Structure 1
Amino acid sequence: MGATDTKLKERIKELTCLYEVTSIIVNSDYDRLETSLEAIAYSLKKACQYEDQAEVTLVSGDYAVKTDGFQPTKTALKSEIKVFNEVNGFVKIGYPSGKYSVSDFLKEEQILLNNVSLAISNLLERKQIHDSELAVRRKMEHSDRLHILGEITAGIAHELNTPLANILGFTELLKDRLSDKEAVRDLQKIVDNAIFSREIVKKLMFFACEMPQNINVVQLNPIVENILNLLAPSLGKKKIKLSKKFSSDDVQIRADTVQLTQVLFNLIMNAVYYSPVGGHVGLVVVENGNHVQIRISDEGPGIDPKNKDRIFEPFFTTKPLGEGSGLGLSVVHGIINSHKGSIAHERNNPIGTIFTVNFPKI
């Protein structure tokens, strides 16, 4: 075969490869991108001058694909994959190192490799945009659902307040009129359950943002210390080892004292609840740039990955029936948002969960 025929053959292979790569990208499923990248690798292999000897590998972010016979020791051409101008990986074409050198590659092969890596870069950029749009849409849908639920909840809470007050009032009157100790004990159970129900109503009203705020500059450290004093019996009962650290003796934020207490009480109580007997709970308060950061860590079982996006949903709980209303973290989330703060969670090392709360610094 003459030199002209050889060049023509190679040119056809290159154009065929580019057409195949374009087709693969157009028909890519963003949820199964690894399959598309593997198809691109095999298409690139077919376009090489020595197709039977060539192998291809492609590495980018969470993706790593290669043709069957690729070895790291091969003599290879390489082209970088860039996603939004940041190097995110590479594509390599390799020949057996004992048989071929870099000079055996055609100049056109490097050009083809660069074009394919550019096409892959565009594909990965589009996937990131798609994922971001999907996350924003889900967040908006979630926000709409919470808004509707908040309006419904506020109405329910208002409706429940009056009958609960009546139950408590009339039960206390009956207790004063009865001398039967057993009957009084039963009435006390009614009182206790009514008070418990009233607390749930309060949480509903917090969640629905129906509780008026009284925002002032507050000293954070004394509030934390008061909460820890309140929780001392719970810590002692489970023999929890508590460590606390304050970056300063005078940490101040603008907050509603009652709501801030509720946020920290819920988070620390959850950490105690999920920690094993003799476990460790850590509390760190630091001033971080324009924010005051509070980190609460535990050694519990951690958050199941399938629940990580649901833990702030109202009425969602992993606690046994009767031990949790599923409102604690949703109320916490709502209060923190109303204070223009943020809350996030991550895995603790080696086990457990860390909740991080950020409040704007004064």
Structure 2
Amino acid sequence: MIPTEERLKERIKELTCLYEVTSIIVNCDYDQIEDALKGIMHCLQKAWRFSAETHVALVTDQYSIKTLNFPDQSVSLKSSISVFNKKTGYIQVVYPLPNYGSSDFLLEEKKLLKNICLEVGNLLERKQIKDNEDLIRRKMEHADRLSILGEITAGMAHELNTPLANILGFSELLKTRIKNDPQANRDLDKIINSAIFSREVVKKLMFFACEMPQQMDLVDIVPIVSDALNLMQPSLKSKKIVDELKFSTQSIFLRVDAIQLTQVIFNLMLNAIYFAPPKSIINFLITDKEKSVEIIIKDEGPGIDPKIRNKIFEPFYSTKPIGEGSGLGLSVVHGIVKSHKGTIKYLPNKPKGTIFVIEFPKK
């Protein structure tokens, strides 16, 4: 039997533990939640009857924390942690063997451990809710930014089309009038070539802004993708890069704009070829799923720096040297995929490189 005075001391320790744990949770910084969990474990150590010999382990699907010198042989109390009614871990309080046995644990300590596990579960639920809110907010901000950029670029494209058409038209007229001046003709050729290049940039802007008219048809995309990759062979061979193209079935039918799909393949392959090292492999896998078609491109380049991951689909943003890229390739791809109600994401390739995953819904 435990003396009444000792029982009273134990109740005070347990109430103090509950108060301290509640204070830790109320003042918790969700970015430093592991520190809060360690603080809760320390409170539990102090609350147990033989606190000097008490050790605590807290294990969840995200955390695994133990007190120093955690014994291999022990007797323990254990209670589960639930997050949204799903068991995701446990807290274990132990005494080392052979000095202690299960009878050294008090009934009140079992109740205390259960209450602390409930509080920890509530804390992890709130953290998960906050993380989800932050993720949704970032996605909405990114979508809003791209939407605004789309409106701006659409306006720019329309405004530039007319002057570019005038430059091309009047340059061609001047060429017919100035036939005996070779230098003037060479200068006009430069003007015409620059105007044509600018027109292509405008076309990419309109792709990004989804302003290009779409011709949606149910087509077999296997020959479309194969032909697009065949056209890239000279670029692949120049860097001695091997491309591996695989289809899940011989025919994959999808309702798409064939020209825009080709544009997606071109832009992603051009990016992969540019960043892939010589003698590397670019994998291209197209899978026919029940409700969608998945396109995966894997390269072995340097990968995408996490610091710029929120910018890669923005127009005019490029990691290539000045003069080697307009910064419109991935933004065009994003615009086309979005106009087809699809999704595009990227993942790190292991051990190095980038994986782009595009999913087009079947309609």
Separation in 2, partners of 1:258, 1:125: 47
Query: Which residue is equivalent to 1:42?
Result: 42
- Where does residue 83 of structure 1 map in the other structure? 83
Mark the CA change 1:73 to 1:188 in structure 2 (over 3 Å): closer, same or farther.
farther
TM-score (norm 2): 0.94
Check whether the contact 2:317–2:328 (CA below 8 A) recurs between aligned residues.
yes
Instruction: Judge conservation of contact 2:142–2:310 (CA < 8 Å) in 1.
Output: no
Q: Which is worse superposed, 253-262 or 173-182?
A: 173-182
Counterpart of 2:320 in structure 1 is: 319
* CA shift for structure 1 position 228: 0.8
1:186 to partner: Cα distance: 3.5
- Shift of the 166–93 alpha-carbon distance from structure 1 to 2, 3 Å rule, reads same
Q: Distance in 1 between matches of 2:278 and 2:291?
A: 37
How far does residue 238 in structure 1 lie from its aligned partner after superposition?
A: 0.8
Alignment of 1:255 with 2:256, yes or no, is yes
Deviation at 1:241, TM superposition (A): 0.6
What residue in structure 2 maps to residue 210 of structure 1? Answer: 211
Corresponding pairs, count: 362
* Unaligned residue ranges in structure 2 (runs of 5+): none
String of CA shifts for 1:233-281, please: whole Å, max 9, x gaps.
Answer: 1111111111111111210101111111111111122111111011100
Residues 75, 97 of structure 2: 8 Å contact kept = yes
How far apart are the structure 1 equivalents of 2:315 and 2:100?
Answer: 64
d(CA) in 1 for partners of 2:154, 2:39? 54
Aligned-pair identity in percent equals 57
Structure 2 counterpart of 1:255, which letter? Answer: V
Instruction: Give the TM-score normalised by the residue count of structure 1.
Output: 0.94
Summarize the alignment of residues 11-30 of structure 1 with structure 2, pairs less than 5 Å apart.
Answer: 11-30=11-30
Give 3-state SS (helix, strand or coil) of 1:197's partner. helix
User: Could you tell me which residue of structure 2 aligns to residue 59 of structure 1?
Assistant: 59
Q: CA RMSD in A?
A: 1.9
Residue number in structure 2 paired with 1:138: 138
Look up the match of 1:148: 148
Q: Distance in 2 between matches of 1:191 and 1:78?
A: 78
Equivalent in the alignment of 2:105 = 105
What pairs up with 1:275-294 in 2 under 5 angstroms? 275-294=276-295
Q: C-alpha displacement at 1:223, in angstroms?
A: 0.7
Amino acid at match of 2:340: H
Report the Cα offset of residue 296 of structure 1.
0.8
Q: Quote the Cα distance in structure 2 between the aligned partners of 1:227 and 1:168.
A: 29
Query: For 1:313 and 1:88, how far apart are their aligned partners in 2?
Result: 39
Using the alignment, how far apart are the partners of 1:170 and 1:235 within structure 2? 39
* Residue 162 (str. 1) matches residue 162 (str. 2): yes
Q: Quote how far apart the aligned CAs of 1:291 are.
A: 1.2
Unaligned stretches of 5+ residues in structure 1? none
> Mapping of 1:261-276 within 5 angstroms?
261-276=262-277
Please name the residue that 2:296 is paired with.
Answer: 295
> What CA deviation, in whole Å up to 9, does each residue of 1:303-361 have, x standing for no partner?
11222333222332222222222222122112112212111211212211111111123
CA-CA distance at 1:37 after TM superposition? 1.0
**Separation in 1 of the partners of 2:139 and 2:97?**
51
Quickly say closer, same or farther: Cα 1:71–1:325, change in 2 above 3 A: farther
Identify the residue that residue 350 of structure 1 maps to in structure 2.
Answer: 351
How far residue 174 of structure 1 moved from its aligned partner, in angstroms, is 3.3
